[in-house]
Amino acid sequence: MTKPEIIDALKQNHSAFTNYILSLNEADFLFAVNDKWSPGQQAEHILRSVKPVNLAFGLPLLLLKIIFGKANRPSRNYAELVQRYFEKLAAGGKASGRFIPPYIAYAQKEKICAQISATAESLCKKLAKYPEKKLDKYILPHPLFGKLTLREMLYFSIYHVQHHQNNIKELLKK
């Protein structure tokens, strides 16, 4: 994907997710079964996942290089990244640490969705100013994948929000 395509996908997927979450009534927003996260918790997880990516894109490239290093391989394409995510999940991979959401009350729904929207919009604005070639040069740590290029981290953010929307739909069977 090119940078404009990445920006469009980030906007579309995060907007679709927040619109879906906002459409849920209280019972659906709070519904959880078999240790699965409620839709509210999944929304909080998305927020906790996209915030550090947004933060990283606000750092100077030199600082990214000093802290995390540079890529030693080409970026995977979108399909390869998604396939690798499925492999990690199939091997038992799951969220950990600060990415595990607490209980989320219905009263938090609009605030969380507004924060997701604002964070995704901020990320897109920062990305618009980023040189395309730098997306494949610098890396960020990911708790499940290890090191990802900036482009791969963006691909993950695009897919991750869609993945959780699909999880919620499956949970609610809607």
Q: What pLDDT, on the 0 to 100 scale, is given for residue 51? A: 98
Q: What pLDDT, on the 0 to 100 scale, is given for residue 81? A: 97
Bridge partner list, 138: 70
Domain count, the chain: 1
CATH number at residue 58: 1.20.120.450
Separation of alpha carbons 64 and 71, rounded Å: 11
Q: What pLDDT, on the 0 to 100 scale, is given for residue 174? A: 55
Tell me the average confidence (pLDDT) per consecutive run of 10 residues in the chain, 174 residues long: 97 98 98 94 98 97 95 97 96 94 97 98 97 96 96 98 97 83
Write the burial class of residue 65 (CB in 10 Å: 0-12 exposed, 13-18 middle, 19+ buried): middle
Indicate the helix (H) or strand (E) that contains 149: strand 146-149
CA angle, 139 then 152 then 144, to 5°? 80
Q: What pLDDT, on the 0 to 100 scale, is given for residue 35? A: 87
The domain of 28 spans 3-172
pTM listed for this prediction: 0.95
